[in-house]
Amino acid sequence: MIYTHTPINFHFNKNSDNFFVEELPLYNFAHTGEWLMLKVRKKGLTTQEMIRKISSATGIKQRDIGYAGLKDKEGLTIQWISVPRKYRDAIHKFSDKNIKILEEDLHRNKLKIGHLKGNKFFVRLKKVMPSDAKKIFSLLKDMKKYGIPNFFGYQRFGKFGNNYEEGKAIIEGEKFIKNKMPRYSLLINIRAFMLERMVF
């Protein structure tokens, strides 16, 4: 289905008051295992910045901290991460004004990119006229019924839309990335996505 509604006017400022994302895990945790699963709420930090802070404060190597997806900096976000169980005491002592551990569990494997079912969003729009509000409610009903297309914008393809060229250079051995994860795999996946659809 193609949405052909007229423009909807509103004001949106992306910050922790108006934008909230909660990650939905791909599977239930086993409540046993060598990996400590942590439900973490962060504000004003990228996922990588959060990981660096936790690593620095607890002594856990960054590569040993698993996560399922990257979450926005400009917003209040909740996601799961995994750390080796042996660091439980260090995690319990961890404190940061922009990072709060909400829950913990145990599991048999480390979290990896893609281990998520999806994301739940809350978005607050302001200065919405009654006529625009009606359009929004109507559109939401259609979205619930028909879904919406997945959008691949600058977040995946880069500010100038040329991330796939970096992926191509990596595959062909013309470029080397020192810190391979997660940017390395993302660029390769973008290249594969483009090839699959023969977009270039």
pLDDT in tens, 40-65: 999 999 999 999 999 999 999 999 99
Active-site residue numbers? 72
Whose tokens are 């599977």? That residue is: 27
Residue recorded with tokens 């390395």:
184
Say if residues 35 and 85 touch (Cβ distance below 8 Å): yes
Task: Please tell me the predicted confidence (pLDDT) of residue 31.
Answer: 96
Q: Are strands 66-67 and 116-123 parallel, antiparallel or unpaired?
A: unpaired
pLDDT attached to residue 158: 63
